[in-house]
Structure 1
Amino acid sequence: MPTHRALSQEEAKGPLNVKEVTTASPAALQVQIRIKAVGLNPLDYKQIYDNYRVSEYPWIGGLDLSGVVTEVGEEVTHLQEGDRVATAAVHFIDGQPAAAFQEISSSDANIAFKIPQIVGHDAAASISINYYTAIVGLCLPEHLNLRFPALPHPSNPAPLENLQPDSDAPILVWGAGSGVGKHALQILRIAGYTNVLATAASHYFDSAKALGAKEVFDYKDEHVVKNIRAYLGDAKVLHAYDAISTPNTISKLIEIVNVGGTIATVTPEGQDLLPFHGAAIRRAGIQGAIVISKTNPEHWEFGRRARELIQDWLQYHGDDKRFKYFFNSTYVIPGGLDGGGIQRGLEMLGRNENHGKKIIVKGI
């Protein structure tokens, strides 16, 4: 059996060590990828250091990756060997062969998207988890059910013209300085929503507005809820996306979102708050992006549309700046598997030393 190297954790909260593991062949709807770079996420840190949602040991982590296709499953038609791709490798669903902290990943082909030659693997590895988490929470019918974006196309050269009257309804994104929050703002912008409010630290105000926010509020301000309500006046907020999703952030959103509205969250936090308010709380994290796509044909189709959107978005070179894709700011660490780059990156995440940048480890 062929093998490759992986960064493995043998026991809960134990050290990470490189070892040889069996290389899995891709299943019918999977793609095998030779990984070139990985992006680190807070969930990676929680799994390695807090044993969060780890079902078995030895454990191989990692969620965001980019690389080159080495083999495709027999039912995969949109990819072929040699394609440069990025994807979200959700190993706690697809199994550890899908994980990113190894040389080769075999994972769900439906959300693996091609990357243009002008986009490097470092930048590509910063996209998938943030993007899929955001678009599922915003657009999936059982979450916020907002309009799915459309890019200019010969059959629809001006998709932002003649939109529905709800385009100026207030939508609130909490945590616009995070990678998920930044993608939420961009998705809402290209979908034509013009009255997007956001919270962020004050040094992110300008970037949040550049990404699509009409007004930004400092989440550190003790009067942030009062300030948002004062700005809104009589306007109702029926859609809110919480890109942070702690009990504190959700409790604040419950004070803002009107009865009958919906709050999309990225973690299970806050579910116990639901009975005390007329707003629905929907978990819309990355699990929604992939798990449901495997169990429901409509969700699989949503995943396909989301994949094609990001693939086309990265290649958009038109004159309308509203459709430009803005990459996450990144902090790139060399070292791959052998040089301790992943461990250094995870430690930086734990100390909050990334300062809003996506940590990328190259040289896998």
Structure 2
Amino acid sequence: MKALQFSRTGDLAALQSVEVPTPVPGAEQVLVQIKAAGLNPSDVKNVLGRFPYTTLPRIPGRDFAGVVVDGPQALLGQEVWGTGKELGFFADGCHAEYVVLSAKGVAPKPRHLSFAQAASLGVPYTTAWDALQRSQVGSGTRLLVIGGGAVATAALALAKVSGAQVLAAVRRPEQAEALRAQGYATLQLTESEALAAQVNDLYSGGAEVIFDTTGFWLPAAVPALAPFGRIAIIAAPVDGHVQLPALALYRRGGSLVGINSLLYGVDACALMLEQFGRFFDQGLLPLPEGLVEAPLEQGLERYAQVNQGTSEKIILVP
């Protein structure tokens, strides 16, 4: 089968387009023919050597949608989607024509999603789902989501379905305008010292949950937090450090919740996909738009494009 593969890390020149044997599923596994595979920044960072536990040689790629062509009889022919920490790190991933994984690691693909749309959602939506679940966002929760990326967008949509009060906060005016057009109350971020006042203007007493998807607003988020509130974080500055106003946090009885999608294997992710996947078929979640589909053979240049910071969501199609 055709695949992208790297045998060393450090630069994207390590990634090659290769022919390798089609994998054979073992007991309790499935072979999925890949119809579409998402390209995430973490896939690029993997080739660059940012994940020391990756074993080599390795086919990268975490998010996929496809058709089961071998495995348990009950799954044969099913359209599925999946993601998980094994793929691309210590098991071959989905930037290939086929992938093998646990039979419990695939979920039925929502009917209203195309293969490309489903492949674009794995990491962003499971990350957002985990953040909302673990920070106890539910009906009526006063939630602030900071950032304008894919995870923030997913969190806003999922929180709306849950019945939470949803407030977005972004830096760029065009981002704020787009979110308001989608019906979200939105703050335009300015100085960090102003965040608490901005939030309290809309949420008297502060936000019960703040989800910072940028890693830079943690110090400013603490004064904007309601008593016994929770702050979920998924990122940090390049050096990994940020100053935390601990006194203000514990006086509020506040909690920090670290969110890391690479803590969840394919089986756990499949359960998440199945839970919120039904919302797409019920018309409760927006269908992805503006995806850029590219043949797998363009993988090397598409990896470079993501590494350069493109805002486009690229889908590799074998």
Confirm or deny a common fold (TM above 0.5).
yes
Q: Select which of 303, 308, 314 maps to 1:351.
A: 308
In the alignment, structure 1 residue 172 sits paired with structure 2 residue 144: yes
Say which SS state the counterpart of residue 95 (structure 1) adopts: coil
Q: Select which of 120, 130, 134 maps to 1:126.
A: 120
Aligned residues: 308
Give the deviation of 1:275 after TM superposition: 4.8
Q: Which amino acid aligns with 2:124?
A: N
Q: Which amino acid aligns with 1:55?
A: T
Say which SS state the counterpart of residue 344 (structure 1) adopts: helix
Say which SS state the counterpart of residue 34 (structure 1) adopts: strand
Give the structure 1 partner of residue 136 of structure 2.
145
Q: Which amino acid aligns with 1:281?
A: L
Give the structure 2 partner of residue 314 of structure 1.
280
Give the deviation of 1:239 after TM superposition: 1.1
Deviations 1:239-286 (A, max 9, x none): 111223x2x232332332245321122247568848553232222231
In structure 1, what is the Cα distance between the partners aligned to 2:197 and 2:49? Answer: 36
Give the deviation of 1:216 after TM superposition: 1.0
In the alignment, structure 1 residue 114 sits paired with structure 2 residue 89: no
Deviations 1:262-320 (A, max 9, x none): 112224756884855323222223134x24x86xxxxx5x963x333333222225xxx
In structure 1, what is the Cα distance between the partners aligned to 2:116 and 2:34? Answer: 11
Q: Which amino acid aligns with 2:77?
A: G
Say which SS state the counterpart of residue 135 (structure 1) adopts: helix
Closer/same/farther in 2, CA of residues 348 and 233 from structure 1, 3 Å limit: same
Q: Which amino acid aligns with 2:116?
A: D
Matches within 5 A, 1:1-364: 4-14=1-11, 15=13, 16-72=15-71, 80-91=75-86, 95-97=90-92, 99-116=93-110, 119-139=113-133, 143-147=134-138, 167-175=139-147, 177-193=148-164, 195-200=165-170, 201-209=172-180, 213=184, 215-219=185-189, 224-232=194-202, 234-244=204-214, 246=215, 248-267=216-235, 269=240, 273=244, 275=246, 277-278=249-250, 279-288=254-263, 290-291=264-265, 300=268, 304=271, 306-316=272-282, 323=284, 325-336=285-296, 339=297, 341-354=298-311, 357-362=312-317, 364=318
How does the TM-score come out when normalised to structure 1? 0.73
Give the deviation of 1:138 after TM superposition: 0.5
Say which SS state the counterpart of residue 286 (structure 2) adopts: coil
8 A contact 2:124–2:154 mirrored in 1? yes
8 A contact 2:32–2:68 mirrored in 1? yes
Closer/same/farther in 2, CA of residues 9 and 310 from structure 1, 3 Å limit: same
Say which SS state the counterpart of residue 106 (structure 1) adopts: strand
Give the structure 2 partner of residue 164 of structure 1.
none
In structure 1, what is the Cα distance between the partners aligned to 2:203 and 2:281? Answer: 40
In structure 2, what is the Cα distance between the partners aligned to 1:57 and 1:67? Answer: 25
In structure 1, what is the Cα distance between the partners aligned to 2:87 and 2:242? Answer: 22
In structure 2, what is the Cα distance between the partners aligned to 1:31 and 1:145? Answer: 34
In structure 1, what is the Cα distance between the partners aligned to 2:45 and 2:230? Answer: 27
Say which SS state the counterpart of residue 334 (structure 1) adopts: strand
In structure 1, what is the Cα distance between the partners aligned to 2:70 and 2:242? Answer: 41
Q: Which amino acid aligns with 1:335?
A: P
8 A contact 1:61–1:91 mirrored in 2? no
Give the deviation of 1:191 after TM superposition: 0.9
8 A contact 1:217–1:224 mirrored in 2? no
In structure 2, what is the Cα distance between the partners aligned to 1:113 and 1:83? Answer: 9
Aligned sequence identity (%) = 20
In structure 2, what is the Cα distance between the partners aligned to 1:312 and 1:179? Answer: 20
In structure 2, what is the Cα distance between the partners aligned to 1:84 and 1:345? Answer: 26
Closer/same/farther in 2, CA of residues 102 and 89 from structure 1, 3 Å limit: farther
How does the TM-score come out when normalised to structure 2? 0.83
Say which SS state the counterpart of residue 48 (structure 2) adopts: helix
Say which SS state the counterpart of residue 291 (structure 2) adopts: strand
Closer/same/farther in 2, CA of residues 263 and 84 from structure 1, 3 Å limit: same
Say which SS state the counterpart of residue 107 (structure 1) adopts: strand
8 A contact 1:229–1:256 mirrored in 2? yes
In structure 1, what is the Cα distance between the partners aligned to 2:274 and 2:208? Answer: 28
